[in-house]
Structure 1
Amino acid sequence: MTTNRKAVAVYGATGHTGKFVIGELLRRGLAVVAVGRDISRMPAGVTARLAGIDDAAALDRAFAGCSVVINCAGPFLDTVAPIVEAALRAGSAYLDVTAEQASALSTFERYDRRARDTGVAVIPAAGFYGGLADLLASAPVCQRPAEDMTVAIALDHWWPTEGTRKTGERNRVPRVVVENGNLVPMAVPAAKTAWTFDAPHGVQEMEAMPFSEIITISRHLQVRNLRAYLNASSLNEIRDATTPAPVAVDTQGRSAQKFAMEVVARDSSGTRRALAQGQDIYAVTAPLVVEAAARMLQPSFHRSGALALGDAFDAEDFLRSFKPEHLTFQLNAT
């Protein structure tokens, strides 16, 4: 989309998602600085810089000259604060791909004013969890005030990465939903329901499992009640310690995993739906966050503060940039 040669720093460059992100940046001709703790594991063909999250001076050196910093290193409860702080010191915009509600909420609450004062945008949860649902909810068909909104996700498998395992162990913060316009703790035990998706997923048994989309959507859209569900079969897989990590099956390095995400908004005027389908939730995070970074590099981008993905950009135009290579989507009202 752009030939702007200002560099994009990727923290967590050696991780599963970080490698996808760097690959997508290179595919789009953007200058990349790979940042992490182990220089020997950095991908070939890019500038590499060494920095730990506990070394502010090293982070300052790593992000020097970079216009955008993308944080792919979880658990984000531990990495966001030092990396956002360093990005702001460098005058760089910031993106991350957290699914962690507490991390996204903290970013909005702690860094909105400082990002505005610095004149940069800080966008948490710009990946599959958080960002994609926020874009679907922000598309014109869904974005007007809603009495009720539901996010439903189906994965035919969830083969977790090492980072996902570590985040699950670290993130014990109670999950929240929106009731009567307020963030409140999710009821325990988690509610269960059934949901009918398009093929290949069909009818799925679902369990309440809100991720960072609750935080991003409620940040900028008027929704009285907001909840999210994930299909029970994928939850059973990720809760099983013997479930293997994802294995690449194509030239892009994607696993065979298929996903569907549906956002349904209801009010007195009827029901509106936005649906996205694609392959590999980790891989699809890369075009999502890289598209955001590329747009932030454009001279026409003037937003600042802590923003959700669907608030920072035209949601439908953003989604259309992914068809058909990365995902497909549908928007309709009944």
Structure 2
Amino acid sequence: MTQARKVLIYGGNGYTGKLIAESLAQRQIPFYFAGRSQDKLESGLEIVRERLGADAWKLDAEIVAVDNSIETLTPVFQKCSIVINVVGPFMQVAWPVVEAALNAGCHYMDTTGEQDWTLAIAEKFGKAFEAKGLLLAPATSFMWAAGALAAEVVLEDPEIDMLDILYQIDNGLPSEASTKSFLRMVCNEGSQYYLDQNEFKAWPNDVAYDVFVPHRNAKLRAHPWGGACEPVWLKGRVRNCKVLTAIGEHMIDGVISAIKTFNEQSVGMDQAGKEALTNAIGDQINTGEPPKDHPDVQRGVIVVNGQSRTKTTRYVMNLSAAYTWTGEIQAECAKLILQGQLKRAGFQSVASGFDHRQLIRTFHALGYCSALPN
């Protein structure tokens, strides 16, 4: 692999940015560690170095302090070929990052969970990225890339045209950025979509659903959690696609309460007012940066049920340590791009942009997920 510095993490000093940096270092991929604050970037990189311990020699990072504007980001991005954006809420602040990446001729990946952001950049930038042979892959993260990988296994059967997907996470501890990002998403009723006969329909935002997770004896409650990105990626490939997330019994009541507060206080507000309100609610909920997650504590299951006219099928995939795995999937896809293994350019999930079985085999070997079915 080339040792040239071709990868840039934007928002590197945040919770997820540090995990991506750690995963890149383990693969000995040099990178730029970028954001707005030199001091915070230096502190963040020191944490990465401490986590690497004896492997700290693998860390090859160059700090770049830069403002969040197209004019300042573009010349910085021109130094690299892959931009990994970890700065959200994405619909509020990420527009300059995508446009600068396109201007600079860079592949773009981010860690969003925001369905409306995914739809918006697909419409505005998808064809332009494809024309340049560049990947545009939002939600390269546990939510929603993990479900997309599992879905591709089920869709290997060409008859399957309906998907029902469930994420379940033990002991989830959302970061500050994730809290604000998901709140702006789950609170906006009318913009959390599922696919029904290849048309988008909106979930109600303040309803929890009873679900039954394989290998668990207790009934759990789940939420649309923004609708997910699988319905966006799979529109036109399947007729129906619903995604629910069992975010944890320790969180679900607080989330529903926050949504109901938003519904009461947002009456008559324009979109800018609603965005400000979800940020304020997020500030009240946030308890600071959580500790790094662990596969023995933050265990998860992704269940994909598939159906056609004549058959049903199911694939259950364990996938643990959601945030750490987000760092791993970003780093692994960056490695594959540098090795020339991108299969499809333009607006793609990483599950369709790369070989989904190869990715699952890699993460099984690393101890993050269960093995593929025979």
TM-score w.r.t. length of structure 2:
0.79
Structure 2 CA distance, aligned partners of 1:245 and 1:143? 42
Bigger strand fraction: 1
Structure 2 CA distance, aligned partners of 1:219 and 1:293? 26
Mark the runs of 5 or more structure 2 residues left unpaired by the alignment: 47-59, 259-284
Check whether the contact 1:259–1:280 (CA below 8 A) recurs between aligned residues. Answer: yes
Q: CA 1:130 to 1:248, structure 2 compared with 1: closer, same or farther past 3 Å? A: closer
Q: CA 1:140 to 1:248, structure 2 compared with 1: closer, same or farther past 3 Å? A: closer
RMSD: 2.6
Q: Which amino acid aligns with 2:200?
A: L
Structure 2 equivalent of residue 166 of structure 1: 180
**SS of residue paired to 2:9:** strand
Q: Which amino acid aligns with 1:137?
A: A
Structure 1 CA distance, aligned partners of 2:147 and 2:361? 14
Q: Which amino acid aligns with 1:247?
A: P
**SS of residue paired to 1:291:** helix
Show structure 1 runs of 4+ deviating over 4 A.
140-143, 242-245, 330-333
1:209 and 2:224 correspond: yes
Check whether the contact 1:178–1:214 (CA below 8 A) recurs between aligned residues. Answer: no
Structure 2 equivalent of residue 195 of structure 1: 212
User: Per-residue CA shift, 1:178-236, capped at 9, x if unaligned?
Assistant: 111111111455362321322xx44332324154333444246x222211122251542
Q: Which amino acid aligns with 1:294?
A: K
Q: Which amino acid aligns with 1:233?
A: E
Structure 2 equivalent of residue 287 of structure 1: 328
Number of residue pairs matched by the alignment: 325
Q: Which amino acid aligns with 2:92?
A: D
Q: Which amino acid aligns with 2:40?
A: R
Percentage identity across paired residues of the two chains = 22
| Deviation, structure 1 residue 131 | 0.8
Structure 2 equivalent of residue 130 of structure 1: 144
Q: CA 1:215 to 1:148, structure 2 compared with 1: closer, same or farther past 3 Å? A: closer
Structure 2 equivalent of residue 266 of structure 1: 307
Structure 2 CA distance, aligned partners of 1:71 and 1:90? 14
Check whether the contact 1:149–1:223 (CA below 8 A) recurs between aligned residues. Answer: yes
Q: CA 1:89 to 1:244, structure 2 compared with 1: closer, same or farther past 3 Å? A: closer
Structure 1 CA distance, aligned partners of 2:72 and 2:167? 39
Structure 1 CA distance, aligned partners of 2:127 and 2:33? 28
Q: CA 1:302 to 1:322, structure 2 compared with 1: closer, same or farther past 3 Å? A: closer
**SS of residue paired to 1:328:** coil
**SS of residue paired to 2:249:** helix
| Matches for 1:98-109 after TM superposition, within 5 Å | 98-109=112-123
Structure 2 equivalent of residue 119 of structure 1: 133
Q: 1:69 aligns with which of 67, 77, 83?
A: 83
Structure 2 CA distance, aligned partners of 1:3 and 1:277? 33
Structure 1 equivalent of residue 11 of structure 2: 12
| Deviation, structure 1 residue 32 | 0.5
The higher radius of gyration belongs to: 2
| Matches for 1:39-58 after TM superposition, within 5 Å | 39-42=38-41, 43-44=45-46, 46-53=61-68, 55-58=69-72
Check whether the contact 1:159–1:238 (CA below 8 A) recurs between aligned residues. Answer: no
Mark the runs of 5 or more structure 1 residues left unpaired by the alignment: none
Q: Which amino acid aligns with 2:252?
A: N
Moved more, 230-239 or 63-72: 230-239
Check whether the contact 2:360–2:371 (CA below 8 A) recurs between aligned residues. Answer: no
| Matches for 1:142-153 after TM superposition, within 5 Å | 142=156, 144-153=158-167
Structure 2 CA distance, aligned partners of 1:235 and 1:204? 15
| Deviation, structure 1 residue 105 | 0.9
Check whether the contact 1:126–1:288 (CA below 8 A) recurs between aligned residues. Answer: yes
Structure 1 equivalent of residue 273 of structure 2: none
Q: Which amino acid aligns with 1:260?
A: V
1:247 and 2:246 correspond: no
**SS of residue paired to 1:13:** coil
Structure 1 equivalent of residue 270 of structure 2: none
Check whether the contact 2:342–2:354 (CA below 8 A) recurs between aligned residues. Answer: no
User: Per-residue CA shift, 1:142-178, capped at 9, x if unaligned?
Assistant: 5635343111111122212111222234334331111
User: Per-residue CA shift, 1:61-119, capped at 9, x if unaligned?
Assistant: 32122110001111111233211111111111110111110011112111111112323
| Matches for 1:212-227 after TM superposition, within 5 Å | 212-219=228-235, 222-227=237-242
Structure 2 CA distance, aligned partners of 1:202 and 1:169? 30
Structure 2 equivalent of residue 110 of structure 1: 124
Structure 1 CA distance, aligned partners of 2:228 and 2:347? 14
Q: CA 1:315 to 1:216, structure 2 compared with 1: closer, same or farther past 3 Å? A: farther
| Matches for 1:28-43 after TM superposition, within 5 Å | 28-42=27-41, 43=45
